[in-house]
Structure 1
């Protein structure tokens, strides 16, 4: 099985940041994303996009290493792509 490296928000950091803001909605507002985006990150259903990473680093005095985790995850190919060429 193949693996890929990706970035996810550190769950402990996110939980404490939400707790400091009081609500998930306030955290989302401060970062400039929707509460559903933060909810997906909290449930580990989303990878951290460049926009989300930038917003967190711009609005919180935190390093990348504190707020995010680089993970290696297994991936499964669900469909194959076939490329056609003209046969002579």
Structure 2
């Protein structure tokens, strides 16, 4: 789950950075291009909605990373105690 969360974070961040860097000119209609390829032409509402979708993907990745960290933190004391009470003691 940690790898999937990091992948979502990286992909959403990289795509957002590329789109912003390649599309600094504006107008009533935006032609979105990434790495020299025109993907789609959007109006202002479509750009806003796609920004919301990218934010949700980023938050899903962040939630996956955070839940993995919390899960590992909760499991660590039990495994440490189990090693202390091993068969030799």
Bigger share in helix: 2
Higher relative contact order (CA 8 A, sep 6+): 1
Same fold (TM over 0.5): no
Asked which structure has the greater CA Rg, the reply is: 2
TM-score, with structure 1 as normaliser: 0.31
Bigger share in strand: 1
TM-score, with structure 2 as normaliser: 0.31
